[in-house]
Amino acid sequence: MEPSIRVGLGYDLHRWEAGGPLILGGVEIAHERHLAGHSDADALLHAVTDAVLGAAGEGDIGELFPDTDPDNRGKDSSEMLGEAMSRVARRGWRVINLDCVVQTQRPKLLPFREAIRANLATLLDVPLDRVWIKAKTGEGVGSIGREEALAVQCVVLLAKDA
């Protein structure tokens, strides 16, 4: 018998490059740097996509959207999450809640948190109170603290109606 709930863990890390803006959670943030990547490098949406896919047993973002495929160059990560959500729904799963930690020394994310939460709630088709984002600095330590990279960890709970 298949369990009626599953947990998925997502993680992503991207290095910083000169020139903005930053795209995080599908929201454009004015910043002097952006995240480097093959797609739009939205580390938050990448981590969420991996969490959703993993919980449903549907692989990972690299399998669905490999960086070796030219069609994925500059791809909007919202489209990737949309495809993941379609796969999950076809298997009968739905998102219950999402909790994320964004690790970055700068920029401060509090002014953007509600817009990011709202966009994620829309993309996941859940009420706003089921999505949470926390931001943490690196306290000057490691690649996060030295402002070399931004990292995201998230956990998602999926359920299937019996």
- How confident is the model over 94-152, as pLDDT tens digits? 999 999 999 999 999 999 999 999 999 999 999 999 999 999 999 999 999 999 999 99
Confidence band, pLDDT 50/70/90 cuts, at residue 72:
confident
Confidence band, pLDDT 50/70/90 cuts, at residue 71:
confident
* Three-state secondary structure call for residue 46: helix
**Distance separating alpha carbons of residues 68 and 72, to the nearest angstrom:** 8
**Over the stretch 31-56, which tens digit does the pLDDT of each residue have?**
999 999 989 999 999 999 999 999 99
**Distance separating alpha carbons of residues 51 and 38, to the nearest angstrom:** 20
| Tokens matching residue 70 | 């030219």
What's residue 70's pLDDT? 82
Which of 61 and 161 is assigned the larger pLDDT? 61
Which of 133 and 69 is assigned the larger pLDDT? 133
Q: Which domains does the chain have, with CATH numbers?
A: 5-160 (3.30.1330.50)
Predicted structure pTM score:
0.95
